[in-house]
Amino acid sequence: MKVRDVRRQSINWTYLGPDGNATTPDSPAPFGMRNYVNQPEFYGLSNLPWVSLYRAWDGFEANPGHWTKTPAQITTEEQFRINNSERLEEGVMSLYSQAELGLLQNRLRILTGVRFERTTAKGEGVAYDPNAVWVRTASGAFAHAANGARIRRPEAGAAGSLEEVRLTRTDRGFRANRSYDGYYPSVHVTWNLRENLLLRAAYARTYGRPDFTNLIPNATIDETDFDDNIPDPDNIPGRITVRNTGLKPWSADNYDLSLEFYTEQGGLLSAGLFRKDISDFFGNVVKVATAADLQALDLDPRYAGWRLSTTYNLGGIARVSGMEFNVRHSLAFLGAWGRALQVFANGTKLDLDGDKDAEFGSFVPESANWGFSWSRKPVTVMLKWNYRGTQQRSALPGVGADAYEYVRGRTPVDLNVDVQLRPNLFLYFNGQNIFDRPEILERYGSQTPGYARRYQEMTHGVQLTLGVKGTF
> Taking residues 129-157, what's their average pLDDT?
89
Tens of pLDDT, residue by residue over 21-33, are 988 989 888 898 8
Amino acid at 28: P
Residue 2 neighbours by CB distance under 10 Å = 10
- Which residue from 181, 180, 186 is spatially nearest to 205, judged by alpha carbons? 186
Confidence (pTM): 0.70
Radius of gyration in angstroms for the set of CA atoms belonging to the chain, rounded to a whole number: 30
Look at residue 239 in the predicted model and tell me its pLDDT. Answer: 83
Q: Evaluate if residue 17 carries a pLDDT over 70.
A: yes
Q: Which long-range contacts (CB under 8 A, 24 or more apart) does 19-27 make?
A: 20/65, 20/66, 22/68
Tens of pLDDT, residue by residue over 43-89, are 777 888 888 989 999 999 999 999 999 999 999 999 999 989 989 88
Tens of pLDDT, residue by residue over 380-393, are 999 999 999 999 88
Instruction: Determine the Cα–Cα distance for residues 26 and 18; give it in Å rounded to an integer.
Output: 9
pLDDT class for 459, splitting at 50, 70, 90? confident
- Which residue from 388, 398, 399, 412 is spatially nearest to 454, judged by alpha carbons? 399
> CA–CA distance from 116 to each of 183, 205, 375 (Å)?
5, 11, 45
Domain boundaries, the chain: 85-326, 364-472
Look at residue 357 in the predicted model and tell me its pLDDT. Answer: 63
Q: Evaluate if residue 410 carries a pLDDT over 90.
A: yes
Tens of pLDDT, residue by residue over 237-290, are 788 888 777 778 889 999 999 999 999 888 999 999 999 999 888 877 777 888
Q: Which helix (H) or strand (E) is 309 found in, with range?
A: strand 307-313
- Which residue from 9, 30, 6 is spatially nearest to 18, judged by alpha carbons? 30
Q: Evaluate if residue 377 carries a pLDDT over 90.
A: no
- Which residue from 345, 306, 311 is spatially nearest to 325, judged by alpha carbons? 345
DSSP 161: -
Environment class of residue 292 by beta-carbon count within 10 Å: exposed (0-12), middle (13-18) or buried (19+)? exposed
Sequence-distant (6+) residues with CB within 8 A of 191 are: 107, 108, 198, 199, 200, 201
